[in-house]
Amino acid sequence: MKIKKLVVVGVGLIGGSCALALKKAGAVDEVVGVGRTRTNLDTARERGIVDRALTLDMPWAREAADADVVLLAAPVAQFPPLFEALAPHVSDDVAITDAGSTKQDVIAAARGTLGDGLASFIPGHPIAGTEHTGAAAAFPALFEGRNVVLTPLDETHDDAIALVTAMWQACGARVSTLEPERHDAIFAAVSHLPHVLAFTLVAELAARPDAAAYFDHAASGFRDFTRIAGSSPEMWRDIALANREALLAEIDGYGDALAAARALISEGDGEALAEMFEQASTARRAWEARRVRPVPEDKG
């Protein structure tokens, strides 16, 4: 697999790390970076992440005409105008993919803007990241052993699917596919809901007049439970709203489960409470045991 020309829109941690990984693997000849700010693009050029760089006020979308792959790694909320700009330049010979954490909203944006170019679009979600952002934070090993989920459309060309699969595999990732709706439902449960729960807990504590007394006694259980509450507020606002329906369903299901737990505590039903804790503990330990290696920080 060799990509002659890769266009990365949003040369941040994800887009930059993908470019670096492909370069390290000898799987790409030329990387063109596209971004909002010249400063970040300069960093990307200095670090050898991109060979050429264009800001969004330049005719960047023309670069898609002779590219093999265009990777949208900008914040998802910016996708609609990016798709619109790309539409006139998309041929059957290019694969368009993205790195957004939600898929149904991205697909809806693509359907509304890409036209015939939709056949070149293969939505994706690399399950990787760190708490750092920007081209300065990119590193080639970010995707090693990580999962990348693709959610092909009925319209997507087989060639586009094969090329984007090979691209992520060249970055060291494992690639799997899901239906877009299924993707959003699963990540609502295992990622978006936990983030909302953690943000809610810390915000509620922080709003108390005597918050310091609580934080002063918080220990390592609190530390791990709330780590994700230190995540980017803007990014998680966008994800929560983009995946609203699935997330609301998860919040409601969780509310029911919490009400059931509350009832057991209120009634003093120690047997049923221990049984529920035991189910959780057993499942959590089994999950941990199946993870064969330590998990680097990711955005999930």
Please list every residue from 138 through 157 that binds its own copies, using CB under 8 A. Answer: 147, 149
Tell the smallest beta-carbon distance from residue 121 to its own copies (Å).
22
Kindly state whether residue 108 participates in binding its own copies, applying the rule CB under 8 A: no
Where does this chain touch its own copies (CB under 8 A) — which range of 25-33, 91-99, 112-120, 201-209?
201-209
159 binds its own copies (CB under 8 A): no
| Closest CB 148 distance from its own copies, rounded Å | 11
Q: What tokens appear for 243 in the block?
A: 């995946």
Contact by Cβ (8 Å): 251, 196: yes
**H/E segment holding residue 101:** none
Q: Taking CB under 8 A as the criterion, which residues in 245-274 touch its own copies?
A: 247-248, 251-255, 257-259, 261-262, 265-266, 268, 270, 273-274
Using alpha carbons, select from 128, 122, 146, 147 the residue that is nearest to residue 15: 128
φ, ψ dihedrals at 8, nearest 5°: -110, 115
Told to check if 89 binds its own copies by CB under 8 A, we report no
User: Angle 104-113/180-187 helices, nearest 10 degrees?
Assistant: 140
Check binding of 127 to its own copies (CB under 8 A).
yes
Residue 188: CB minimum distance to its own copies, A: 10
The first and second tokens of residue 57, run together, are 């006020």
Using only the alpha carbons of the chain, give its radius of gyration: 21
Using CB under 8 A, pick the residue from 154, 158, 224, 293 that binds its own copies. Answer: 224
Least distance from its own copies to the Cβ atom of residue 56, Å: 22
Query: What gap in Å lies between CA 136 and CA 129, rounded to an integer?
Result: 13
Q: Counting contacts by CB under 8 A, is residue 277 touching its own copies?
A: yes
- The reply to whether 234 sits near its own copies by the rule CB under 8 A is yes
Tokens of 5: 């020309």
Contact status: 218 vs its own copies (CB under 8 A): yes
Interface of this chain with its own copies, residues 46 to 85, rule: CB under 8 A? none
Please check whether residue 184 is in contact with residue 103, taking contact to mean a CB–CB distance below 8 angstroms: yes
Stretch of residues binding its own copies (CB under 8 A), selected from 3-11, 13-21, 113-121, 243-251:
243-251
279 interacts with its own copies by CB under 8 A: yes
Closest CA to 134 of 21, 43, 24: 43
Choose between 42 and 204: whose C-beta lies nearer to its own copies.
204
Among 154, 213, 292, 293, binds its own copies (CB under 8 A): 213
Closest CB to its own copies among residues 209, 268: 268
205 binds its own copies (CB under 8 A): yes
CB of 21 to its own copies, least distance (A): 18
CA angle 13/76/187 to nearest 5° reads: 85
